[in-house]
Amino acid sequence: MKRWIFAFSFLFFSAIFSMFFSKAVAQTASTSPLRTHPQADSIRNERVQLEKETELKILEKLEESRLREEKARMQKIEMTNFSVVNPAPVAPLQNQTQTF
């Protein structure tokens, strides 16, 4: 019984301590001012813009490729003759028993 009380109290106080500690860290991190560098910010913005343009170009190329492949697939299907002249007879399944 004493072990259960000790375990419960330990878990309870560790939970309270972790909640208090996480709030203190969050407040410290949120109250500290961020240093900004205008030149670094402009370079970062330029990089982000270039990344967006690159990703859009990749997306366009990917979609163009998919469209070409789909058109080629459609042409292949349209040229295929699906008529069946003499279908092969289907053999009936025979009951086979297996012994174990």
Question: What pLDDT is stored for residue 98 in this prediction?
Answer: 63
In a domain, 57, yes or no: yes
In a domain, 58, yes or no: yes
pTM for this entry: 0.42
Q: In this predicted structure, what is the pLDDT of residue 6? A: 61
Looking at the domain assignment, is residue 72 inside a domain? yes
pLDDT of 14 strictly over 90: no
Tell me, yes or no, whether 53 lies in a domain: yes
pLDDT in tens, 54-86: 999 999 999 999 999 999 999 998 888 766 566
Domain hosting 12: range is 2-29+37-78
User: What's the mean pLDDT when you consider all of the chain?
Assistant: 77
> In the numeric block, which tokens belong to residue 18?
């972790």
**Burial letters 13-47, b for 16+ CB under 10 A, else e:** eeeeeeeeeeeeeeeeeeeeeeeeeeeeeeeeeee
Its sign, for the CA torsion 71, 75, 76, 81, is positive
Digit-coded pLDDT (tens) for 34-54 = 677 889 999 999 999 999 999
Asked, for residue 44, whether it belongs to a domain, the answer is yes
Q: Would the pLDDT of 24 be above 60?
A: no
Residue 59 lies in a domain: yes
In a domain, residue 69? The reply is: yes
Based on the structure, what is the number of domains in the chain? 1
